[in-house]
Amino acid sequence: LFCIFSHFLVRSPPKLETESPAVVWFHIPSTGSPPKFSLKCSAKGDPEKYTWYKNGVLFPIDETRIVWQRPGQSGTVTFLHPEESDQGFYQCNVSNIFGVAMSNIFEVKVGGKRNVKKTDEEACVNSEISVLDHFSSRPVQNIPVNEGDSLTLNCTKPLGIPEPTIFWLYRDVKKSYAMDTVNRKHITGISGTFD
């Protein structure tokens, strides 16, 4: 009885396992340093070399501001100090002697800008946002309106990605502990109650 066993090591071109989504957002806050972000790229199949392209041109990783997350093991890079100039279209290239794999092209966008000028708006609230600039601080205003007359209160949305959803809140001065959302566009009655 003979048992013959052989093991062949089959090498192949790299195959991507992880890549970034179609759009990668990062934020540059009005004050302080921006939070870092990463571009993902990893492959199986004996990847030997990872390279990045930005807007179709070879993109060098400087190892100072932009660093490899796991050099030689992964193509994922981290932007330690993001700048607005980092916006663009990126693609990861993975190669070995048997071939090349390239990620989909994805876009890197900034989701907040410095020195965004805001007008004096009424206090309004934003919900479900991933990147949101601040509302400007302003004093409370008392605006007298005759019953039956119309009044428009403007709210300038802060910059947000995705687009902010805005809704108004009403707080009765006599019941400062409670707030209600404004679901109707008019107020009736001398007391200012909502219908």
Q: What pLDDT, on the 0 to 100 scale, is given for residue 185?
A: 56
- Residue 3 has a pLDDT of 58
DSSP state string for the chain: --------------EEEEE--SEEEE---SSSPPPPEEE-EEEES---EEEEEETTEEE---SSSEEESSTTT---EEESS--GGG-EEEEEEEEETTEEEEPPPEEEEE---TT---------EEES-SEEPPPPP---------TT-------PPPPEESPPEEE-EE--TT-TT--EE--SS-B-STT--B-
pLDDT of residue 186: 54
Query: What pLDDT is recorded for position 143?
Result: 82
Across the range 37-59, mean pLDDT stands at 92
What's 15-110's CATH class?
Answer: mainly beta
pLDDT at 110: 87
Mean pLDDT score of the chain: 75
Rounded to an integer, the average pLDDT of 57-73 is 92
**Higher pLDDT pick, 67 / 116:** 67
- The pLDDT of residue 54: 97
Q: Which pLDDT tens digit goes with each residue over 81-138?
A: 999 999 999 999 999 998 999 999 999 998 744 333 343 333 333 322 356 666 666 6
**pTM for the whole thing?**
0.55
The more confidently predicted of residues 143 and 37 is 37
Domain boundaries, the chain: 15-110, 116-195
Mean pLDDT of 31-35: 79
